[in-house]
Amino acid sequence: MRIGVPKEIKNHEYRVGLTPDSVHEMTAHGHGVFVETNAGAGIGASDADYEACGAKILQTAAEVFETAEMIVKVKEPQAVERAMLRPHHILFTYLHLAPDAEQTADLVNSGATCIAYETVTDAQGGLPLLVPMSQVAGRLSVLAGANSLEKINGGSGTLIGGVPGVEPAKVVVIGGGVVGSHAITMALGLGADVTVLDRNTHVLADLAQTFGSGLKTVYSTKSALEKHVLAADIVVGAVLVAGAAAPKLVTAEMVSNMKPGSVLVDVAIDQGGCFETSKATTHSDPTYIVDEVVHYCVANMPGAVPRTSAYALNNVTLPFALALAGKGAKQALLDDPHFLPGLNVHQGKITCEAVATALGYDYVDPASALEGSAASKAA
C-alpha cells in the first residue's frame, strides 16, 4: 500500500504521523511511504533520516494526498487537508468529531474511510491509542497550571509546591482515569496539596492505594465538586466519554465564584471541554481570563513535547497502521473487534454512535457499513 505522511499544520503542532522507525517497519513489509518534506523536523527527524528508512520525500501535502492510499496523521485534518481527501483514501488519525460539526460534514462529503485513534478499544474496555497522549497531557496539565499561576500570567502568584512555612497550591483533579492519574503524579511530585474527584469508587480505591495518604480522594457529587473547585488554585478537567462530547461539569456560575487568580486546565477540550467557560486555545495564545480565572484550553497539548509524544504515539499506532496497510481497511477492521470501533466515517456514513448522536446523523453499524460497501461494489 502507498502510505502518506503530511506535515502537521495545526497551530504549533510539531508531532508527525510516522517516525523514521515506523517508516522502516512499513517499508520492510513492502509498503511505499511518501513523506512531505520537513514533516519530521519537529521531532528532530530530517528528510535524510526518512530516506534512509526507505521513504520518498515529496515537496507538498497535495503530492502526498495525491500519491497515497492511506494518510497517517496525528491531529484532525484541517479544512485545506479535508479538501484533498477522496473516496479511495483511508485516513488514520485523531479526529474528535463529536464537538466538530464542520470537520464531520467535510469527512462525510469526502467519501473517505476515516478511522479515529481515540475510539479504538482493547479487551479491557480501554482506549489504547489515546493512553500515551493522555499520559503526556496529564503531566503537562499540571506544568501548564503551575505556569499559569504566576502573577505575570494572570494567576494569583502562588508557587505550586509552596516553601517551608507557606502552604502549597491546592490542585483539584476532576476524573481519575489516565489523564487524572498522571496529573496527580506530577502535582504530588511538585509538592502540591492534591484532591481527586471521581464517581467510580473502584477508581478512587485504586488511586488511594497507588498514591497513599498524600492524595485526598472524594466521591464526585455536585456539592462536593463545587466545594473543592471553589477552594482550588488549579483545577484539572480530566473527564472523558469515549467518542462523545465532554460533560460540562464546572458551570459558569461556579467559575464566577472561584478565587481570583485561580487556574482551570481543560484537558477535555478536544472533546468540547468540561468547563462551561472553556473555548479551544493554541500553544501560541494558550490562555484567557474569565471572571479573574485563568483558562488554559490548548487543544493539542502533547504537541508541546513532540519528541516524547510522537514516539509514544507510534509505539501504539504502528501495529494498527501495519494491519491497515497489509489487509486493507475492510479486512483489518472486521478481523479485530477492538479495531472496528475506530471506524468513525465510511463512504459518507457515520459509524460511531456517539458522534451520530452528538451531531444528529443517522448511525450505521461499522461492520454493516463495511459489508455494505463491498456489496455495492459487487453489484
- Active site positions, annotated: 96, 270
CA distances to 140, 155, 159, 264 from 287, in Å: 14, 11, 18, 10
Grid-cell match 526507505, residue found? 54
CB of 363 within 8 A of CB of 353? yes
User: What is the rounded distance in angstroms from the CA atom of residue 317 to the CA atom of residue 30?
Assistant: 18
HSE toward the beta carbon, residue 369, CA cutoff 13 A? 24
Give long-range contacts, CB 8 A cutoff, 24+ apart: 284-293. Answer: 284/11, 284/12, 286/144, 287/148, 287/153, 287/154, 289/154, 290/252, 290/255, 291/255, 291/256, 291/258, 292/260, 292/261, 293/255, 293/258, 293/260, 293/261, 293/262, 293/263, 293/264
CA dihedral 302, 307, 312, 317 (to 10 degrees): 90
| Residue 232 zone, left/alpha/beta (φ > 0; ψ -120 to 50; rest) | beta
| 335 phi/psi in degrees, rounded to 5 | -75, -20
| 34 phi/psi in degrees, rounded to 5 | -120, 115
Grid-cell match 483558562, residue found? 295
> Which one, of 215, 248, 309, lies nearest residue 99 by Cα?
248
According to DSSP, residue 361 is labeled P
> Which one, of 270, 249, 349, lies nearest residue 98 by Cα?
270
- Give residue 105's identity as a one-letter amino acid code: A
CB of 200 within 8 A of CB of 176? yes
| 304 phi/psi in degrees, rounded to 5 | -70, -25
Grid-cell match 510516522, residue found? 18
User: What is the rounded distance in angstroms from the CA atom of residue 216 to the CA atom of residue 196?
Assistant: 6
